[in-house]
Amino acid sequence: MKSNNQLKDYLLYSHNSAFMKIIRLLLILLSCSVMTAGQVVTQDDSIRTVVLQEVAVSAKQKNQQQNLYNFFSTNKAATTEDILGRFPELSLVRRGSYGMEPTIRSFNSSQVNLLIDGMRIHGACTDKMDPASIYIEPINLNSIEVNTGGRDFLNGSSIGGNINMKLAEANCHEQPVLNGAVNSGFHSAANTFYQSLSVDYAGSRWGLRASGTYRKSGDYRDGSGKTVSFSQYEKVNYSINGKLVLSDRSYLKIDLLADDGWNMGYAALPMDVGYANARIGAVSVIKEDPSARWEKLEAKLYANKIKHFMDDTDRPNVTIHMDMPGESITTGFYAEGTKKARRGKLSLRADASATTLKASMTMHQPGQSPMYMLTWPDNRQVQSGVAAQYAMRIDSITQLILNARTDISAYSLTSQMGKDQLAVFNYTDDNNHFYIPSISMQVSRRLIGKLKAALSVGINGRSPSASELFGFYLFNQFDGYDYIGKPTLEQETGMLTDLTLSYQQQKWKAQATAYVSRVKNYIIGRLTPDFSAMTIGAKGVKQYANIDHAVLAGAEASLVYEPSTKTQFVTTVKYAFGNDDLGKPLPMITPLRNISTLRQFFGNLWLQGEAEFAATQNRVSKVADEKATGSFALYHFRAGYKQKVKNLDCQLNAGIENIFDVHYREHLDWGNIARPGRNLYLQLGFAF
User: What's the length of the chain?
Assistant: 688
Please list every residue from 381 through 440 that binds another protein, using CB under 8 A. Answer: 417, 419-421, 423-426
Q: Tell me which residues in 523-542 interact with another protein (CB under 8 A).
A: 530-534, 536
3-state SS, residue 423: helix
Taking the complex as a whole, the smallest distance from the CB of residue 351 to another protein amounts, in Å, to 36
361, 471 contact by CB (below 8 A): no
Fill in the amino acid letter for 314.
D
Q: How far is the CB of 100 from another protein (least distance, A)?
A: 31
Q: 540 or 671, CB closer to another protein?
A: 540
Site for another protein in 100-159 (CB under 8 A): none
Q: Does 625 bind another protein (CB under 8 A)?
A: no
472 or 606, CB closer to another protein? 472
Judged by CB under 8 A, the chain residues 8 through 37 that form the site for another protein are none
Query: Using CB under 8 A as the criterion, what x/- string covers residues 266-305 for binding another protein?
Result: ----------------------------------------
Instruction: CB nearer to another protein: give 340 or 419.
Output: 419
Nearest approach in angstroms of CB 305 to another protein is 26
The rounded distance, in Å, linking the Cα atoms of 5 and 3 is: 5
Write b or e for each residue in 380-400: b if 16 or more Cβ atoms lie within 10 A of its Cβ, otherwise e. Answer: bbbbbbebebbbeeeeeeebb
Q: Residue 390: in which H helix or E strand, if any?
A: strand 371-395
Query: Distance between CA atoms of 27 and 228, rounded to whole angstroms?
Result: 41
CB 479, min distance to another protein, A: 18
| CB of residue 527 to another protein, shortest distance in Å | 14
CB of 485 to another protein, least distance (A): 13
Question: b/e for 42-55, b at 16 or more Cβ within 10 A?
Answer: eeeeebbbbbbbbb
Q: Which of 456, 443, 367 is nearest to 399 (CA)?
A: 443
Q: What is the 3-state secondary structure of 251-266?
A: EEEEEEEEEEEEEECC
Nearer to another protein, 341 or 423 (CB): 423
Parallel, antiparallel, or unpaired for β 679-687 and 648-657?
A: antiparallel
How near is the Cβ of 138 to another protein at its closest, in Å? 42
Cβ–Cβ under 8 Å, residues 27 and 35? no
Pairing of strands 481-484, 540-546: parallel
Could you tell me the smallest distance in angstroms from the CB atom of residue 671 to another protein? 23
Q: Which is nearer to another protein, 247 or 426 (CB)?
A: 426
Residues paired with 640 in a beta bridge: 606, 653
The terminus-to-terminus CA distance of the chain in angstroms comes to: 29
Please tell me the count of residues contacting another protein according to CB under 8 A: 26
Single-letter amino acid code for the residue at 354? A
Residue (395 or 530) nearer to another protein, CB:
530
In terms of CB distance, is 418 or 458 closer to another protein? 418
Nearer to another protein by Cβ, of 229 and 365: the residue is: 365
Smallest gap, in angstroms, from Cβ of residue 230 to another protein?
A: 23
Q: 3-class SS at 110?
A: helix
CB 543 → another protein: shortest distance, Å? 10
Instruction: Report CA torsion sign: 112, 115, 118, 121.
Output: negative
**34 φ/ψ angles, rounded to the nearest 5 degrees:** -70, -45
Q: Which of residues 344-373 bind another protein (CB under 8 A)?
A: 361, 363, 365, 368-373
Which CB sits closer to another protein, 363 or 401?
Answer: 363
- Residue 624 CB, shortest distance to another protein, in Å, is 22
Give Cβ neighbours of residue 192 (< 8 Å, ≥ 6 apart): 185, 186, 215, 216, 217, 218
Contact criterion met (CB below 8 Å) for 217 and 237: no
Q: Please, how many CA atoms are within 13 Å of residue 507, restricted to the half-sphere of its CB? A: 4
Give the residue among 451, 453, 542, 556 at the shortest CA–CA distance from 505: 451
Nearer of residues 172 and 361 to another protein, judged by Cβ: 361
Task: Indicate the helix (H) or strand (E) that contains 291.
Answer: none
Residue 425 or 686 with smaller CB distance to another protein = 425
CB nearer to another protein: give 246 or 536: 536
- Determine if 473 is a binding residue for another protein (CB under 8 A): yes
Q: Which amino acid is at 575?
A: Y
Q: Does 320 bind another protein (CB under 8 A)?
A: yes
Closest residue by Cα to residue 266 from 470, 458, 100, 67: 100
- Cβ closest to another protein, residue 47 vs residue 363: 363
Over the window 536 to 575, marking each residue x when it contacts another protein by CB under 8 A and - when it does not, the resulting string is x---------------------------------------
Nearest approach, Cβ of 546 to another protein (angstroms)? 20
Exactly one of 302, 472, 515, 601 binds another protein (CB under 8 A); that residue is 472
Helix, strand, coil share of the chain (percent; to 5)? 10, 55, 35
Please, what is the minimum distance in Å from the beta carbon of residue 533 to another protein? 6
**Which residues are near another protein by CB under 8 A?**
320, 361, 363, 365, 368-373, 417, 419-421, 423-426, 472-473, 530-534, 536
